[in-house]
Structure 1
Amino acid sequence: MREPVLLASGQDLEPRSIGPVTQTDIVKFAGAGGDFNPLHHDPGYAVRAGLPGVISMGQMQAGMLAAWVADLVHVEHLLGFSVRFVSPLQIGETLTLTGEVDNVRDTGESSVAELSLSATAGDRVVVSGRARVRVSSS
């Protein structure tokens, strides 16, 4: 097992940008996850539903956020992860993943950090999230 990373309260996590998202990205994710809702592949259907066009699945952005934080802290130290879907991601948008360490506390056996996470497209939040991770006590 890899050693936990060292994080400090108030620390910003190294951001990651993904995109611009393409129709191919969305179709690949649909195939992998089995989500064939026409909102994700049929532009006419999406417009009739009141959207500006095809949108990505919320789980796609949530998965990107989860993979990013797991890469940063080493997946074996990820203790909890939750998300809230805020707004849709459209074709052509770039997703920026960011986070901050809210606090670090000693649990007796190890230290645990609480993280606030965000996936944004421009100034708009697409997915917000929280994570609990085991961190180095040094």
Structure 2
Amino acid sequence: MMLKTELNFDSLIEGQELESLNKPPISKVQLVKYAGASGDFNPLHTDDASAQKVGMDGVIAHGMLIMGFLGQYVTELAGDRAETRNFRMRFGAITKPGDEITCSSTVEKRYEEAGEKFVSLALEAKKPTGEVVGTGTVLLRFQ
């Protein structure tokens, strides 16, 4: 799922909303694969019965999976033209299998400092209902 556009410092404007990235529905298989990749085998993420014992309807996605979605998004935005710095995220609502996540961003600040070009982006990951599952920021240094 590559984005159509690669950012260009000179064409970015503060307040501009950038192209979003739509992720397909999260699957239980994806959660098991992510558990293996991350080493986080908490049964809350892989076993419905265990999740139900702690009051959930069933398994929930790892918060770090959502951070990974935003990381993919930022990497695709930056392309070969920018370097990612200071990527930060806060977790929001719970994400479950079947949820589709859209990653989006807005240009917060565009500036030059010591001969280098920077853009700060506000990041958001949300469900189609509008429920926000994660927010964050990233600083891009353009080459």
User: Normalised by the size of structure 2, how large is the TM-score?
Assistant: 0.87
Number of aligned residues:
134
Q: Which has the higher contact order (CA 8 A, sep 6+)?
A: 1
What residue is the counterpart of 2:8 in the other structure?
Answer: 5
1:29 aligns with 2:39: no
What residue is the counterpart of 2:3 in the other structure?
Answer: none
Helix, strand or coil: the match of 2:8? Answer: coil
Helix, strand or coil: the match of 1:117? Answer: strand
What residue is the counterpart of 1:101 in the other structure?
Answer: 107
CA contact (8 A) 1:4 1:135 kept: no
Deviation by residue 1:30-89 (Cα, 9 ceiling, x = unmatched): 111111000001111112212221111001110110111111112751122000011211
Gaps in structure 1 of 5+ consecutive residues: none
Gaps in structure 2 of 5+ consecutive residues: 1-5
What residue is the counterpart of 2:139 in the other structure?
Answer: 132
- Cα distance, 1:4 vs structure 2: 6.9
Give the Cα–Cα distance (whole angstroms) in 2 for the partners of residues 29 and 5 of structure 1: 33
Misfit runs of 4+, over 3 Å: none
Give the residue type in structure 1 aligned to 2:124.
S
Query: Aligned-pair RMSD on alpha carbons?
Result: 1.7
1:14 aligns with 2:19: yes
- Cα distance, 1:135 vs structure 2: 3.4
1:114 aligns with 2:111: no
Give the Cα–Cα distance (whole angstroms) in 1 for the partners of residues 55 and 122 of structure 2: 31
Identical amino acids, percent of aligned pairs: 32
Helix, strand or coil: the match of 2:56? Answer: coil
CA contact (8 A) 1:4 1:77 kept: no
